[in-house]
A and B are shown apart, each in its own frame.
Chain A
């Protein structure tokens, strides 16, 4: 029989909180593991009463949802935490935000509403904005058109098992070109498929179909995540939790 640590089992989870946070500025270079470490320590500094797993190596109850790649900024990263004591979600948000480095901002914290399903089931798509310094709109717009017109755009993707050919086209639900301050901007809505199609892969696809080769490293920001509906809209994954809370509290909830 497996050995058990002495003493009572850890207290159970009594409240689940869902958090949206941003990684910005120089911390776009943080990896998923870096962010996870930072978050766990910040939860301790903020004295959030975490629930822990049982066993010899107790771990705080934290579930991470797919992280933006290292090097990409994001305004919409999600994580769910389990608490052993109830807390006001807004107070947790503020305390956690204060405990994290400046370039990580805790934007929202809501209590998971029962019976509304898991957070992971509400996320299947990312909304990206990619700045392309040194590229003009006149170069980007036709490249995007060519890409969207293609049925298949194969790009080589570096994986654990070496280079692998991936079709980047089907994952991209929509894409458009814009310009701000003389810098071309690529907006796109990309489905979270396996193997993942990331902004880098779409850029490789643009190079393949239209020979678009940005002279400087592009800067990608994930602006939103959620479920893509038939109209092409990406729904806020915390919406159902917020809606449930609004129903409970009448008209007092804020947006």
Chain B
């Protein structure tokens, strides 16, 4: 029977595996609706382990938005670890949802949220376990429609063969529109089969159906043309943008797992979008314009969420939280409201700015004072101008010193390595900075036990950013720079012992680069890697660089391209990029100009406070910046 629970078949397997709690569901605020109550059934997947996927805000939002509709039902599914996957194959138990333990194959739609490219092999594994044909063209009208979303869906070409459609941009309204289309098509008796359904979906704003677009390639391997195979699909597919965040206060009832997860706190998104213009940052480019939640909207989400979850920490999320037009009041009034309740509030990594230390002091006054995190991203002032994240060395040292002087003993600094135009000297300045920060910090705080952790990641150029044309640094370059940096930090042990260095080798970044800027030909590499056992590529114990490089070499040879061609090759101005037919609103000419300005180390200001610099988003998408201040205040909570 469709929608039947598989739990009796699953339960005996759970007794034989690690961490069975992640597969049983029943989280606080989870929902299970009767199958027959809904016309449209969605399985929502986060393609990574439960502990990473459960806290994902995007999935939680869509789960709630869909389940609020009486005609829709949404359940969640996550990547299954190899120990259970092997038993499932042995006993014929398919990929299931954790809510109703229903077979994913029974649903009308399988929505998968790609926050990172390293989840692609996990989608293939889930499709295979679900009994859904891997290739979209092999599916018939009884199979779920596989829909991809999330930031990585802004270049869906590498996984285009495996999905039926991709949604660009905010999902809150798009999932409703898709539900309407599927409901109508089913209600009419599925006219025209799957082809007709997909054609109808392609007319939904923000929905891209890859099978209706064909690629041809030139002799040098670059894309010669992208042509439509149906006249009724859009030439260019634009992203969705939700305006007025106060109307979308989701998640209202955040899920709280019994199992341990990567975020043991509740999150409230205080604004979406960012116009700081950091050139490496795909999130900041594709989520424009800035849309703030009001101080009162934030206040009610925090209160409702705390009541619904029992969490003791609330993260105020966004891409640059200290930039909220009323952040000072938000911090002060929330801290006042929760005085004496052991509730702590936190901001994610922030820009290097003295104001942020004041904010952090305010936010932590009721609860635990953990570490403070800043993200200067670039080691030298020069490279920070290239990436448009300008802060002087003096300001940086002064800010971190202020943090130590205010009683914070742990400061974490985020950097990137392998940025365009970068030299060894730029990276070595990270060591000088860290040493100076510790020296000044010891003096300012009068303590020897302060610590600074330098966390450094390899830069991967991303689509829809000014760096989309850039040559990615090779794994060897990254590894060399990390090596000289480590030596420099350890040169003076008296200081070096207060500095921690966290980094990964450059290899996973190369594969992420292939998947980020790849085109439809890269799908064959992904499939090959999965067939040879590749999955959980975001986990170092499962990631195999050799498997990827060998699959890339063998699968791409027929096309006359290779791994380097996709990663370390700089693109020219007029090359057709695999995502040119997908519109994030950014004007390609503006992106190119910004890339040129990066190379000449010119900065661009934030359009929140300075005039528009014509990135193109607002006029193209019919949107505008929504910011305060509203001047409103949080009312005192009434004690029940």
Contacts and interface: CB of A to CB of B under 8 A. Distances in A.
Contact of A99 (B24, B258, B310): B310
Nearest to A5: B369
B310 A71 contact: no
Interface string A55-69: 011100000000000
Contacts, number: 67
Nearest to B27: A101
B236 interface: no
Interface string B402-418: 00000000000000000
Q: Which of B16, B311, B342, B369 has the largest count of A CB atoms less than 10 A from its CB?
A: B342
Interface stretch (B7-15, B106-114, B118-126, B563-571): B7-15
Contacts of B258: 27, 30, 34-35, 37-38, 101
B368 A57 contact: yes
A27 B369 CA distance: 33
A164 interface: no
A220 to B, nearest CB: 10
Contacts of A102: 26
B26 A34 contact: no
A38 B15 CA distance: 21
B307 interface: yes
Contacts of B28: 38, 41, 101
Interface string B421-447: 000000000000000000000000000
B68 interface: no
B214 interface: no
B25 interface: yes
Interface string A17-40: 000000000110111011101101
A99 B306 CA distance: 13
Interface string B255-266: 010111000100
Interface string B16-54: 100111011111100000000000000000000000000
Nearest to A101: B26
Given A101-B26, A102-B26, A56 B312 contact: no
B26 A217 contact: no
Chain B, interface SS category = loop
Interface string B309-344: 111100000000000000000000000000000100
Interface residues of A, number: 28
A58 B369 CA distance: 11
A149 interface: no
A29 B21 contact: yes
Contacts of A38: 28, 258
A27 B21 CA distance: 7
A56 B7 CA distance: 44
A26 B309 contact: no
Contacts of B27: 101
Contacts of B21: 27, 29-31, 34, 70
Contacts of A175: none
Interface stretch (A42-50, A166-174, A182-190, A243-251): A42-50
A43 B341 CA distance: 13
Given A31-B21, A102-B26, A52 B342 contact: yes
Given A26-B7, A37-B258, A71 B342 contact: no
Contacts of B369: 56
Nearest to B369: A56
B24 A29 contact: yes
Contacts of B260: 33-34, 37
A40 B259 CA distance: 13
Nearest to A27: B26
Nearest to A218: B15
A103 interface: yes
A173 to B, nearest CB: 26
B310 A27 contact: no
A1 interface: no
A216 B259 CA distance: 26
Interface in A78-131: 99, 101-103
Contacts of B16: 217
A99 B310 CA distance: 9
A176 to B, nearest CB: 24
Interface in B228-272: 256, 258-260, 264
14 contacts: A30-B259, A31-B19, A33-B260, A34-B21, A38-B28, A41-B256, A44-B310, A45-B309, A57-B368, A58-B368, A70-B21, A71-B15, A101-B26, A101-B258
Interface of B: 7, 11-12, 14-16, 19-21, 23-28, 256, 258-260, 264, 307-312, 342, 368-369
* Interchain residue pairs A-B with the least CB separation, the first 6: A41-B310, A217-B15, A29-B20, A44-B310, A45-B310, A26-B24
Interface of A: 26-27, 29-31, 33-35, 37-38, 40-45, 52, 56-58, 70-71, 99, 101-103, 216-217
Given A30-B21, A41-B310, 6 more contacts: A34-B260, A35-B258, A37-B258, A37-B264, A45-B309, A58-B368
